[in-house]
Amino acid sequence: MPLIVKNSDTGILLAVNASLADTFMARLKGLSLRKGFGDIDGMLLSPCSGIHTFNMRFSLDVIYLSENNRVVHIG
């Protein structure tokens, strides 16, 4: 089921078709086999304290969220 992600302070849409990786296997697979986002705008990883970009075919922006879904770092 696609997720809509928006800034709760401004209402600006950040993603209108994000996917959720909330199981071990979904997080393990992540975006590694994709050539690009294409059919999704982003991926939410939960729980997650870090990521790797091994075998990635494209660059990405990473937004780290706190437990209450507030941005704590952009990298």
- CB neighbour list of residue 20: distance below 8 Å, 6 or more residues apart: 3, 26, 43, 44, 46
With CA atoms as reference, report the closest residue to 43 among 25, 67, 60, 24. Answer: 60
| Positions of the chain with pLDDT under 50 | none
According to the model, what pLDDT value does residue 44 have? 82
The rounded distance, in Å, linking the Cα atoms of 3 and 63 is: 16
According to the model, what pLDDT value does residue 40 have? 67
According to the model, what pLDDT value does residue 57 have? 81
Name the pTM for this structure.
Answer: 0.70
